Amino acid sequence: KAGVTQTPRYLIKTRGQQVTLSCSPISGHRSVSWYQQTPGQGLQFLFEYFSETQRNKGNFPGRFSGRQFSNSRSEMNVSTLELGDSALYLCASSLDAGISSYEQYFGPGTRLTVT
Amino acid sequence: GENVEQHPSTLSVQEGDSAVIKCTYSDSASNYFPWYKQELGKGPQLIIDIRSNVGEKKDQRIAVTLNKTAKHFSLHITETQPEDSAVYFCAASPPYYGGSQGNLIFGKGTKLSVKP
């Protein structure tokens, strides 16, 4: 079974621009969570989507948004990019069905650099 | 909200020795505690997890223990090998209404170096 895939793997943007990152979960997984990883703050939860609905949200400004499609694929968008948004953005998928639903499997991430 | 502290931040051991990484959490309602291994240029890989109704879990050379009263959990790696070198993260999952467990709160990570 293929793992979580994220595109693009690397991205360079300029301050003020917006960016869209894509995540395809493991086949059959219905929950998708997004995390930001930086050297200073570590791994921080952004939001979680299940059945095309945002089910949980972390403490990030409204510039960070996401959505999930009917096939469970998810996108996240960051508008008005700031230098501090430079980070590795990780997507994780979960089966979300019964006892195994807690396990989250991460993709390789998208490395975003804002200049 | 939940807060997870992880120690040590760096750990260096000789091949064949054991390694122990410890984490504490603050929210007594947290009920799921996974451990991840992250190698350079890759996403975190789930290596073992434990739920709050279990005190210990083992998978070959890796084990995790949980003390709910003290609110701490630990990762134990025995017979370490050079390929165990990586950054290890602990996490806690506080429950969220609606059944969501998608919110993992991570520790800051431990860089493990295994010297041949």
Confidence of residue B22 (pLDDT cuts 50, 70, 90): very high
Q: Which of A48, A106, A109 sits opposite B103 (nearest CB)?
A: A48
Residue B14 phi, psi (nearest 5): -85, 145
What's the confidence (pLDDT) of residue B96? 66
Closest-approach residue (CA) in chain B for A91: B43
Cα separation values, B54 from A59, A109, A111, B68, Å: 30, 32, 37, 9
> Helices in A1-115 by DSSP H: which ranges?
none
pLDDT, greater one: A13 or A99: A13
Beta strands in B19-106 (DSSP E): 19-25, 32-38, 45-51, 56-59, 62-67, 72-77, 86-92, 105-106
What mean pLDDT comes out for the span A95-103? 68
B-proximal residues of A, 15-34, CB under 8 Å: 31, 33
Kindly report the nearest CA distance between residue A85 and chain B, in angstroms. Answer: 18
Contact B110, B87 (CB under 8 A): yes
Chain A and chain B share a number of CB contacts under 8 A equal to: 69
Interchain proximity B106–A42, CB inside 8 Å? yes
